[in-house]
Amino acid sequence: MRVTTVKKARKAQGNCGRCSDPINVGDSYRHWSFRYGGTQRRCVKPSCSPRQSELTQNDVLVMAYQIGEEHFDMTDNPEDFDDQVTEVADTIQEILDVIEEKMSNIEDGFGHTEIEAYYNLEEQQSEVESWMEEVSELDGGDFEADGDACTQCGLDETDGYHDARDAEEHADDIFHDFEAEVEFDSDGAIEALMEAIGACPV
């Protein structure tokens, strides 16, 4: 879908479809049109730029694009991350449901499936199923790292400062008590999720 930018409006264009601010004579604005659905207008504020999901009327593409546009919060535990993965997988399942409905409509309407549109949907269905499998395989537990941290000084057991000869603050009389400390790699987890989402085949 082509988005046209007008530097100076010759007449008032109504309100921005995102922020509702008026687009007056002389203002810059963007617009795009669908065959069915009329013309959409936006002011030129960055926050009002059209999203990819807004530039198509294909319901499957809209849902797929919206997944990539979602803001995923950084989490500090694997359970919250797994919840986000489940939400994405659920949306992908909704996409599969739409594809299946389209296939069913073709079969009901034509009485057979020997047409190109049905074959294309079958291929799309297979690709989306593989995509959902890739996303669903993400597990927050895979982004946890175990380390032994000293409860007295906080340093790792392998840190050289635990040798009393290396630093006065770690003298012989300090009792080092190590216990497992689990750290969750939130950055790595979200990066992996976005990479999986980016593999969207539609």
Residue by residue, pLDDT tens for the chain (202 residues) are 899 999 999 999 999 999 999 999 999 999 999 988 889 999 999 999 999 999 999 999 999 999 988 877 777 788 999 999 999 999 999 999 999 999 999 999 988 888 999 999 999 999 999 999 999 999 998 887 665 555 555 555 555 555 544 445 554 545 555 454 567 888 899 899 999 999 998 8
- 85 with 126, same domain? yes
The answer to whether residue 58 is domain-embedded is: no
With a CB cutoff of 8 Å and minimum separation 6, the contacts of 91 are: 63, 66, 67
The answer to whether residue 59 is domain-embedded is: no
Output the pTM of the full model.
Answer: 0.74
The answer to whether residue 57 is domain-embedded is: no
- 152 with 132, same domain? no
Buried b / exposed e across 71-87, counting CB within 10 Å, b at 16+?
Answer: eeeebeebeebbebbee
Map residue 174 onto helix, strand or coil.
coil
- 173 with 106, same domain? no
- 8 with 101, same domain? no
Q: What's the number of domains the chain is made of?
A: 3
The answer to whether residue 20 is domain-embedded is: yes
The parent domain of residue 160 ranges over 142-184
- 40 with 133, same domain? no
- 116 with 18, same domain? no
- 118 with 193, same domain? yes
- 133 with 147, same domain? no
- 129 with 193, same domain? yes
- 134 with 82, same domain? yes
